[in-house]
Amino acid sequence: MQSELMSSVSEFQTSSTYRALANALPLNLLIKAADGRRVFANDSYLKWRGVTWQELAGKHDEDLFPPELARQYREDDHKVMQTGESLHSVESAKLADDSIGWIERVKTAVHDHDGNLLGVQVLFWDVTAKVEKEKATQFEQSLLTTLLANIPDSIYFKDIDSRFIRVSHAMAMKFGRASVDEVHGRTDADIFTPEHAEGARLDELRVIETGEALVDRVERETWPDREDTWCMTTKMPLRNDAGEIIGTFGISRDITDLKRSEAALHEAVRMADAANRSKSEFLANMSHEIRTPMNALIGMTDLLSQTDLDPDQQDYVQIIQESSDGLLRLINDILDFSKIEARRLELESVPFSLSKTVESTLRSFSLSASQKGLELQCELSPKIPDQLIGDPGRVRQVLTNLVGNAIKFTDHGGVRVQIEVLRQAPAAGGDPKTSANGTESPGRQDTVELRWSVCDTGIGIPPAQQDAVLNPFTQADASTTRRFGGTGLGLSISRQLVELMGGQLQLQSEVGVGTTFSFDLRMPVCPASMRSEVDDEEEDLGGPARQQLAPLHVLVAEDGVTNQHVIAGLLRSLGHKCSIASDGRETLSKWRSEQYDIVLMDMHMPVMDGLEATRAIRQEEWGTDRHTPIIALTAAAMSEDAAACREAGMDSYLTKPIHSRKLRDALAAFQKELPPATDLSQEETLVQSFSPKLLLASEQDSTTINAAHAAFPSAGSTSNAITLSPENIGCLDLDSARSRIPGGTAGVLRLAFVFRTECAQLVDKLSQEIPAGLNDETRRNAHTLKGACGLLGAKQLQAAAERIEEAGRENRVQETPELLANLQRESERVLSAIDELLRQSDKANPPK
């Protein structure tokens, strides 16, 4: 038997085929005889052990390994030989480089071709890298498990069908599940409402299709059995080792408490803002109420000062005048500050002369400066264009506050106003546009950036107080022994006005040396073809008497009763005769039957609009010597309107609301060589301009206008104190209306009386036309209402009518029912405000 075994072993050693095959293996191969002696080893094994076959042949485990390890190897060998089962293990071992690593080993019994046991075959190979990788994977898995079990955010992994593969413990708790296993395999449709689940699925499909993440999305989560919640979520594509997208994963954080806090904060801010606006509107209303008797007080004091008074009485009157003027300045400051706070102050954009504005402002301070022995200087750069576009009144107000403040706090030296050019930029986009009357449109102008400075040699402001001095109701000297009075509003108002005009008020000061206030403003340069507004000239007919123009016979084509009332009054106040037509067809008929010097043509009228009527007039004038000047009237001052006017044959263009001066200037261009009208006193002009007999020479239906004149027969019979309660104060701009409407307060009330009837009728028509989809009728009536609103400053109602007009122009009135609801709501507010005005007038002027 021993000889047979040795023979078989010899075959292992001598068979070239076997040796070649064994040496080609990338494994370590060792064969031991049944008694443990090494009888064969391939080259990989010898290299691994670092020995030759001669050194290894015939050796036992005890000859090569420590006793304990050798005993373990012998036990493993015996087990394999006794059971005939392979032994497979991964164990730590010394590697070929003497380092400690891991090997995977397989021991099997070796038999000859007759089935006789020969010994044990040992195969092993280095698996250190694999084991280390598995250990790293297990560690990472442990980290992930720890993360998912403890993080308070919701983390999830989903497959390609949006089924949850794995979720964090917090997410399972948020879903109302006892463990994460109850979530695995489910979808959003099993948890959320269908609407939210569908939105989430669409998001995940987009991530899968594009491979792009959705980062920091704020989502509203809707649940079938509880209140909505909010989260901020990030969704990303889930890829395998090959980079293929196999699903999605993401993380979300619950921000419900944050959203509720934000909502509460927004509500608090809204309430604070509403309270602030209410306070400002109250101050504005009260200031306006106080100004009315103050104006009377100042006027009566001025008249009293012109009577025969003894010296003591003159002193008393002078004290009253100075105190009244100071009180009026205080009230004006509060009024302006309140308007700014309530966001009701609007800036004009009109041509004006910068040099005249500055010179007239400084001229008013020449006396006070000379009385204190101060030098008042003005330095204007010669590069400054004289004609600019802006708000000359607010520019004058800022300069007045700054110069007045400088003089008040300066005892020696002087005050210098300096304006210099920082840069000048040409207009972009080519040549200026031309309007219907041939003037350049203010759409494109050169601009100039100016630096304004007001310097004094006064007491200066301490550094600690410089930041606060521009705040409202703040003065540099707030002690009980302060020398200088005032509200502390002037600088704050100036700062806010400068900011409204696009600049920022800067302060530099040194105690005992002086103070400089400066700001930079960018302003459009007025084109040469645009006329400058006349400085200090009032818009209404209550200002200084003007030279009367030669009388014209004017045909007014206007469908709005309110606008008819105003335009006819303005024409007659200027000494002109007028007739009124309510649509284009009536205009054409009257033009054919009577000679007119000029036609004021509304663009949007029923039956036949102004453009069509103008084309018909020009067609009939073709080949004759007759040419009637036609001036367009419209509330839409767009470039396309100007082009349409020119194409129809109109000569000029006026935008509503129509001001007296603009109307006079437009008519002056077509003035005939006729003797001037007989001069009338201002009161006669006002009374006759709105006389019902003259106004109704047009054979118009006179019911409403006659009623208006019966209710408000003259300016003198009505109190000037017309105001609105806080809930109605934003509906009408009474100050603006009073500045435009002839006849002062009575004129405004007559206009309101007429407007009330027309507004109610037009809103009623629109309430029927909009649901019926009558786009043309809706557009025309909305346009008429828009123009009438401008006269009384009903800006919200005007904006609502303008949106409906636009919808009618685009043939979509039926698609926007919310516009009608808004119009009805705004009209109710305006009509309520008008009713309040008329009730006030009834109380102020009871029947005699």
Confidence tier at 488 by pLDDT (50, 70, 90)? low
Residue 130: how many CA atoms within 13 Å on its side-chain side?
9
Q: What is d(CA 632, CA 610) in angstroms, rounded to the nearest whole number?
A: 8
| CA 287 to chain CA mean position, Å | 31
What is the three-class DSSP state of 726?
Answer: coil
How high is the pLDDT of residue 746? 73
In a 3-state reduction of DSSP, which class is residue 656?
coil
Q: Shortest CA distance to 809 belongs to which of 832, 778, 764, 840?
A: 778
pLDDT tens-digit map of 576-586: 888 888 888 99
Residue that wins the pLDDT comparison between 180 and 275: 180
**What is the average pLDDT score of the chain?**
78
185 pLDDT above the threshold of 60: yes
Q: If pLDDT is split at 50, 70 and 90, which confidence band does 741 have?
A: low
Separation in Å, CA 369 to CA 400, 413, 452, 459 = 13, 10, 20, 16
Alpha carbon separation from 186 to 152, 168, 181 (Å, rounded) = 21, 14, 10
The 10 Å Cβ neighbour count of residue 35 is 11
Return the higher-pLDDT residue of 268 and 736.
268
CA distances 428 to 238, 443, 444, 447, 520, Å, are: 52, 10, 7, 10, 21
Write down the pLDDT at residue 571.
83
| 595 DSSP 8-state letter | -
Phi, psi of 88, rounded to the nearest 5 degrees: -120, 125
Least confident residue range of 45-59, 266-280, 381-395: 266-280
Residue 210 pLDDT level (bands cut at 50, 70, 90)? very high
Q: Which residue has the higher pLDDT, 15 or 230?
A: 230
The tokens of 559 are what? 């469908």
Neighbours of 304 (CB within 10 A): 15
d(CA 630, CA 591): 11
Quick check: 450 pLDDT over 90?
Answer: yes
Gap between the Cα atoms of 577 and 551, Å rounded: 7
The Cβ of residue 657 has, within 10 Å, a number of other Cβ atoms equal to 21
Give mean pLDDT, residues 595-605: 88
Task: Tell me what percent of the residues of the chain surpass a pLDDT of 90.
Answer: 17
Give pLDDT, residue 617.
93
Work out the number of other CB atoms within 10 angstroms of the CB of residue 290.
16
Q: Top-level CATH class of 260-341?
A: mainly alpha
The pLDDT of residue 755 is 84
C-alpha 448/C-alpha 425 separation (Å) is 6
pLDDT for res 737? 72
- pLDDT in the model for residue 161: 92
97 touches 122 (CB < 8 A): no
**pLDDT band at residue 845 under the 50/70/90 scheme:** low
- Prediction pTM value: 0.36
Q: State the average pLDDT over residues 271-280.
A: 73
* DSSP collapsed to 3 states, 266-303: HHHHHHHHHHHHHHHHHHHHHHHHHHHHHHHHHHHHHH
- Determine how β-strand 214-221 pairs with β-strand 229-239: antiparallel
| Mean pLDDT score, 7-26 | 68
- Compute φ and ψ for 51, nearest 5 degrees: -135, 170
- Of 72-76, 270-274, 437-441, the one with minimum mean pLDDT is 437-441
Instruction: Extract the tokens encoding 326.
Output: 């100071």
The Cβ of residue 780 has, within 10 Å, a number of other Cβ atoms equal to 22
What pLDDT is stored for residue 541 in this prediction?
Answer: 32
Rounded to an integer, what distance in angstroms lies between the CA atom of residue 451 and that of residue 717? 50
pLDDT in tens, 66-116: 899 889 989 999 999 998 889 998 888 777 677 788 888 999 998 888 888
Does CATH number 3.30.450.20 belong to domain 154-254? yes
State the average pLDDT over residues 552-562: 85
Q: For residue 159, is pLDDT > 50?
A: yes
Q: Is 39 helix (H, G, I), strand (E, B) or coil?
A: strand
Q: What is the pLDDT of residue 293?
A: 65
Q: How many CA atoms lie within 13 A of 680 on its CB side?
A: 16
Identify residue 583 by its one-letter amino acid code: D
The phi and psi torsions of 161 (rounded to 5 degrees) equal -100, 15
Q: Is the domain 2-132 a CATH 3.30.450.20 member?
A: yes
Highest average pLDDT, of 246-255, 361-370, 545-554, comes from 246-255
Cis peptide before 657 (omega within 30 of 0): yes
What would the DSSP string read from start to end of 176-228?
T-SSGGGTTT--GGGTS-HHHHHHHHHHHHHHHHH---EEEEEEEE--SSS--
Single out the residue of 569, 585, 566 nearest to residue 577, CA to CA. 569
Mean pLDDT over 264-287 rounds to 73
Q: How far apart are CA 632 and CA 630, in angstroms?
A: 6
Q: What 3-state DSSP class applies to 26?
A: coil
Q: Where in the chain are the domains? A: 2-132, 154-254, 260-341, 350-524, 553-701, 734-844
Q: Does position 675 have pLDDT exceeding 50, yes or no?
A: no
Element (H, E) at 736: helix 734-740
pLDDT category of residue 530 using cuts at 50, 70 and 90: low
- Which range, of 144-148, 376-380, 684-688, averages the lowest pLDDT? 684-688
Bridge partners for 92 per DSSP: 102
| Interval 689-706: pLDDT, tens | 444 443 333 344 445 555
Q: One fold for both 2-132 and 260-341?
A: no
With cut-offs at 50, 70 and 90, classify the pLDDT of residue 310: confident
459-463, 692-696, 707-711, 734-738: lowest mean pLDDT where? 692-696
Q: Domain 553-701 has what CATH class?
A: alpha beta
- Report, as an integer, the average pLDDT of 522-526: 89
At 685 the pLDDT is: 40
Q: How far apart are CA 509 and CA 518, in angstroms?
A: 11
| DSSP 8-state symbol, 571 | H
Give the distance between the most distant pair of CA atoms in the chain: 162
pLDDT-derived band at 298 (thresholds 50, 70, 90) equals low
CATH code linked to domain 734-844: 1.20.120.160
Nearest to 748 by CA among 760, 737, 759, 736: 737
Q: How confident is the model over 771-797, as pLDDT tens digits?
A: 888 888 888 888 888 878 877 778 888
Choice among 8-22, 223-237, 709-723 with the minimum mean pLDDT: 709-723
267 confidence band (pLDDT: 50, 70, 90): confident
pLDDT surpasses 70 at 216? yes
pLDDT reported for residue 728: 75
Q: 350-524 belongs to which CATH class?
A: alpha beta
